């Protein structure tokens, strides 16, 4: 027998769910104390009133739906889950920078458990973002008009989009290891895609050269699907058909596949 070897009976038997749960609470618990949750709530409120009040007159007149609140709220929801992805990126960059990921790899733990825990925490952030932004939307006049399963579909699709965005944010954090750059780095797609989408005004209102981009970019596809699932009191909302929902689901699936693959590559990199 080798001197110093730990007998099998004395070795701990680590359980993957247990490890996942421990790492998940490690991500979630601080958000209650350090103000992350509070800023997320305030951020959603700011984006709601910030888009709604100034633009209600100037753009409310040119959109087809019953009210500008009904038209705008999907964009507010998407911006809120984008915020959640920024948080995910920041946390992931700090973990990568401080070497805790490297430490995890030396532990008896499945390779994807830390990522799974970070993703669970991201879903938690998305749920918070969704609840807060829908509450904000409700205040300005947004309502669900479709049957119940449309509403359920709206929530499920939003969380799927949130998970995909969080995966992107997490990768950016882990790959750059630069917490100071993550928030501004994600601000670029958040703002430019947000403005150049059908979120604020219909595609016909854009100059001709940019219309194809505005119509086909992922954010517009997400917004179309969410508008369809939310419905409207007038028939102006897009119909719930595969040709409306399909592109959004395809974008989500594509993002998840590509970024999981990139994650595996970054995780395999020697620090």
The minimum distance between CB 63 and another protein, in angstroms, equals 12
Among the listed residues 50, 77, 75, the one whose alpha carbon sits nearest the alpha carbon of residue 65: 75
Q: How far apart are CA 169 and CA 175, in angstroms?
A: 10
If the CB atoms of residues 126 and 185 are measured against another protein, the closer one turns out to be 185
CB of 23 to another protein, least distance (A): 17
Rule CB under 8 A: say whether 139 interacts with another protein. no
For the CB of residue 195, give the shortest distance to another protein in the complex, in Å. 4
Q: Does 105 bind another protein (CB under 8 A)?
A: no
Segment contacting another protein by CB under 8 A, of 55-63, 139-147, 241-249, 252-260: 55-63
The count of chain residues that interact with another protein, using the rule CB under 8 A, is 48
CB 180 to another protein: min, Å = 4
- HSE (CB half, 13 Å, CA atoms) of 49? 6
User: What is the Cα–Cα distance from 264 to 271, expressed in whole angstroms?
Assistant: 14
Among 49, 111, 156, 264, binds another protein (CB under 8 A): 49
Give the contact letters, 16-45, x = binds to another protein (CB under 8 A), - = no: --------------xx--xxx--xx-xx--
State the binding string over 171-200 for another protein (x if CB under 8 A, else -): -----x-xxxxxxxx-xx--xx--xx---x
Other Cβ atoms within 10 Å of 245 Cβ, number = 20
Please report whether residue 90 would count as binding another protein according to CB under 8 A.
yes
Residue-wise burial string across 230-243, b where 16 or more C-beta atoms lie within 10 A, e elsewhere: bbbeeeebbebeee
Q: Label residues 34-50 b or e (16+ Cβ within 10 Å = b).
A: eebbeebbebbbebbee
Positive or negative: CA dihedral 90, 177, 266, 103: negative
Shortest Å distance, C-beta 61 to another protein: 9
Residues interacting with another protein, by CB under 8 A?
30-31, 34-36, 39-40, 42-43, 46-47, 49-51, 53-55, 57-59, 62, 83, 86-87, 90-91, 94, 176, 178-185, 187-188, 191-192, 195-196, 200-201, 205-207, 210
């Amino acid at each position: 027998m080798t001197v110093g070897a730990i007998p099998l009976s004395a070795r701990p038997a680590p359980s993957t769910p247990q490890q996942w749960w421990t790492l998940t609470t490690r991500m979630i618990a601080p958000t209650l104390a350090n103000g992350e949750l509070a800023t997320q709530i305030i951020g959603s409120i700011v984006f709601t009133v910030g888009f709604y009040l100034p633009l209600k007159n100037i753009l409310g007149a040119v959109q087809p739906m019953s009210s500008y609140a009904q038209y705008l709220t999907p964009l507010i929801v998407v911006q809120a889950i984008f915020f959640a992805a920024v948080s995910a990126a920041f946390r992931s960059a700090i973990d990568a920078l401080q070497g805790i990921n490297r430490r995890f790899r030396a532990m008896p733990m499945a390779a994807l458990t830390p990522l799974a825990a970070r993703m669970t925490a991201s879903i938690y952030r998305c749920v918070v973002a969704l609840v807060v932004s829908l509450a904000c939307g409700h205040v300005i006049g947004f309502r669900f008009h479709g049957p119940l399963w449309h509403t359920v579909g709206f929530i499920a699709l939003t969380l799927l989009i949130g998970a995909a965005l969080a995966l992107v944010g997490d990768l950016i954090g882990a790959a750059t290891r630069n917490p100071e750059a993550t928030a501004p780095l994600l601000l670029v797609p958040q703002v430019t895609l947000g403005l150049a989408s059908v979120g604020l005004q219909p595609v016909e209102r854009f100059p001709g050269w940019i219309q194809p981009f505005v119509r086909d970019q992922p954010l517009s596809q997400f917004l179309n699907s969410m508008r369809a699932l939310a419905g409207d009191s007038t028939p102006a909302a897009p119909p719930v058909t595969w040709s409306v929902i399909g592109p959004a689901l395809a974008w989500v699936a594509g993002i998840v596949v590509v970024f999981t693959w990139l994650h595996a590559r970054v995780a395999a990199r020697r620090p």
